[in-house]
Amino acid sequence: MLIIRPIRSSDFDALYQIAVESGHGFTSLPVNNELLQKKIARSEASFLKEVERPFDEGYLMVLEDTDTGDVVGTCALEAAVGMEDAFYHYRLGTEVYHSEQIHVRNEVETLTLCHDYTGAAELCTLFLRASYRRDNNGRMLSRSRFLFLAQHAARFGETVIAEMRGVSDESGHSPFYGWLQKHFLGIDFVEADYLSGLGQKAFMAEMMPRNPVYVCLLPEEAQKVIGEVHTNTRPAISLLQAEGFRCRGYVDIFDGGPTVECNLADIRSVRESRLLTVTIGEMPASDSCYILSNTKLADYRASSADLLVNDNDDKVILSPELAAGLLVSEGEQVRVLAM
């Protein structure tokens, strides 16, 4: 059985291996022992914390194959970004130049450094090991976060964002970053991305261009990838678009990848998820697959199963094994979402 649960300190080795496998551009999991240990500790504290309003909490979860005990994936949610560390984006805009005298009108795209998403919740750190990228496991892992958001909405910002990985090659070279390295930062993309993942962001404020950047003045290869996603990220952005996420003109400051957003209450899976009361017994046959989770916080569990769910009934039958995996008892509630 595949179960999603909060990360714990004993998962460090598995998280380190996932950080290695995730490769360049996966900023939220740098290959750094101290940082990964801090991420685990911060997540453990966040799951236990009483929250009056979202601040700097981070909820990191893992996908465990209970048959082998292996951790085979991760997913995470940030409660409110930019509350302690600056959270930078480029905002795409337009400047208009018009002259009646010479009868010329030009519209020029600009990139302006901003902190507009401060306080937004964030979907992040989604990774599934290659051997498990089948049978809708990736979809389950990604969408399970919407059940957590629906159940614990008060712990998150009203706007939910996701930063999509931009275009880069196998060695980590980003066409968008090339001009920034040459004229401003002076360090390569991999190093800048790594420092950002470590939370060492002072160099951004010190070295990034402070005035709007005219897109037409960038190299053509940089212009072409603004707002484009990495090949491996296309399935992820398609899934989010189906949930109602849209790009509002914000892109990553290093690789130019788009950031998408949606109001938490408007996310399709948040709206369509349902709370059902558990009966434990023999599960009736069904060909309808659901993601389901308990309603707990520190003991949060989620999985997927073929369930018989009736639109006119608020009950669902779970097998003893599935109920045990989800840490639910007879009469407790689960939140369900059609896959």
Active-site positions read: 230
Q: Give Cβ neighbours of residue 139 (< 8 Å, ≥ 6 apart).
A: 239, 339
CB 164 within 8 Å of CB 258? yes
Q: What torsion, rounded to 10 degrees, do the Cα atoms 80, 82, 158, 328 define?
A: -20
Phi, psi of 301 (to 5 degrees): -140, 145
The residue type of 100 is E
- Select from 253, 252, 254 the least CA-distant residue to 191: 254
Burial of residue 202 (number of CB atoms within 10 Å: 0-12, 13-18, 19+): exposed
E-only strand ranges, 79-202: 89-99, 104-114, 121-128, 159-163
Token look-up 């496991």 returns: 137
Strands 159-163 and 121-128, sheet pairing: parallel
Burial of residue 311 (number of CB atoms within 10 Å: 0-12, 13-18, 19+): exposed
Helical residues (DSSP H) of the chain, grouped into ranges:
12-22, 33-48, 137-151, 175-180, 189-197, 202-207, 220-224, 234-242, 268-272, 320-325
CB 270 within 8 Å of CB 77? no
SS3 126: strand
